[in-house]
Structure 1
């Protein structure tokens, strides 16, 4: 015979799985579920007692006295809208493999009742071919987090795609780095670090890492450059510089989405504006080329010249002169 504590746990599972505001369980239905699932049929007094205990423990249960129909779990760890947002995010993150995405989504869905879960069966992975093939991502994150907390170096193999679209080691010798933090940008999760013996900040995609191992050696020294990584554009780190650009109003939203609201924007005409941002020039170069029709880098001049040179050397132009 199950103890009162076990009956309370079984009751909580029944309410979590089978009840919500649109599916209120009567006392008879609760007893039937308990018998079907756990082969027990506690009397009404025992169930009343278990419900009272759950209420005392902070569970938000609507009772017959509240709704005049029956019993249901009124609030959960996550609201339905929050679960939907989390599921959409997991589907969208390319660094999480298809298998890991499915497992994680199942855990989120288990926070809902069986009836609520049916609403989300239509969701699909968008462009699943973009999902990482590396199933070590979550393990990588755990190991890296431990190394960061303990200020230890880590070693890892770094992968890149070959012509057959297969991830292969970039080199046989493992990378050894001082890990300082992790950051999500440009749809990927990166490790902020520097190579052992170097001072320049580097960013490595965590989904392209394999065989991450914490070393016995501590960081080279207390040298953190997280700010450089936060200023990175398109994951190109480096020393930030003041860069001024003139843009067409049509990309104002894109500018704010990329650089935030802390930038100073000056209106120069009815159709254009200028702004200055502190960021690594290499990343700005690629950003400006993406919006070539709408962006002009004004300073520094050397960066403007470099972008001009890239434009003149692109294949659309050079192929016409051959």
Structure 2
């Protein structure tokens, strides 16, 4: 491409170099810009650069200047500030459901929103030691397809699998497809789950998205929710405790005062806390009584106690006896 045709791209190349090469700590002079444009086969005079900078400001680019021995120019603010980009990079890197390959691709795209020097600091920011990542590369596209089904009010079909002791896929239902009515996607305990509703069973259920394959939208509307049924995804995930089902029961729990943070982290700030005595407090909460619920309360040892109902207390005793029996 000759210089005459390249001249038409001058403003675009100037925009590119300012975004990529400048920030508050890294600036360019007019001479720097002229030299950089020359690398692209574009000649420029100082006056034309001033006019171009003004045009870019008019366009919305926040170009600031600083005077010392020379006048230095840089992009002062961007759509995303550096701390925000670090948060996004950390979220991608720490997400178990995003594979290593897809994490690297996404982080590269996030880096393009910063200057070259800032992008280097993002790379130093992202390392997380021995992070377990999913091995199902297709999850990234599965999530997009499931969102589309929910938005279009369509059913979906898919195959669902577990891993066997050889770490190979073992498909449920002998490899036959599930056909479900998707209502929400939830990211819980570092995994993505599809939450569905079944008219046949008049209940919700859920599936790990990273264990789904061959997802297809079905040209059939979802099963409608029962009249006056209001689906609250936050309430649903709170009840099932990390996506394990169980009978929903109103339970009274007693906690040591040191566990207030743990209770608020688990149930939110709206949970009603009542004083039991000087050293403990109580809450009433509806939970899905399951092995996951018992595992959650077990981690606190003798600092937590199930007060009622008696049926849940007995189930917890039985759960603990089964565990202890392995060591007798």
Hey, which of these two has a bigger chunk of strand by percent?
Answer: 2
Equivalences for 1:202-281 in 2 at 5 Å?
A: 202-223=205-226, 225-227=231-233, 229-231=236-238, 232-237=240-245, 240-281=248-289
C-alpha displacement at 1:195, in angstroms? Answer: 4.4
Q: Give the match for residue 85 of structure 1.
A: 87
Residue 253 (structure 1) shift: 1.3
Given that 1:98 and 1:131 are in contact with CA atoms closer than 8 Å, whether structure 2 keeps it comes out as yes
Give, in whole Å, the separation in 2 of the partners of 1:61 and 1:4: 22
The yes-or-no answer on 1:16 pairing with 2:19 is: yes
Deviation at 1:267, TM superposition (A): 2.0
Corresponding residue for residue 26 of structure 1: 29
List alignment gaps of at least 5 residues for structure 1: none
Match of 1:287 among 278, 283, 296: 296
> May I ask how many residue pairs the two structures share in their alignment?
317
Q: Contact 1:285–1:303 (CA<8 Å) still a contact in 2?
A: no
My pick for the range that moved more, 240-249 or 102-111, is 240-249
Comparing 224-233 with 53-62, greater Cα deviation is found at 224-233
Distance 1:136 1:295, change over 3 A: same
* Correspondence for 2:53 among 51, 54, 62: 51
Deviation track 1:184-239 (CA, whole Å, cap 9, x = no partner) reads 11111111113463322112121221111100111122446344524331212466
Structure 1 pair 237/32, CA: closer, same or farther in 2 (3 Å)?
farther
Q: Deviations over 1:95-125 (max 9, x none)?
A: 0000000001111111111111222333324
Range with bigger deviation, 87-96 or 50-59: 50-59
**Aligned-CA RMSD value:** 2.3
Unaligned runs of 5+ in 2: none
In the TM superposition, what is the alpha-carbon distance from 1:170 to its structure 2 partner? 3.0
Deviations 1:57-106 (A, max 9, x none): 21111135799631111111211111111111111110000000000111
- The DSSP-based 3-state class of the residue aligned with 1:73 is strand
Q: 2 CA distance for matches of 1:66 and 1:193?
A: 63
The change in CA–CA distance for 1:74 and 1:45 in structure 2 (over 3 A counts) is: same
TM-score, length basis structure 2: 0.89
Give the distance between the partners of 1:225 and 1:241, measured in 2 at CA: 18
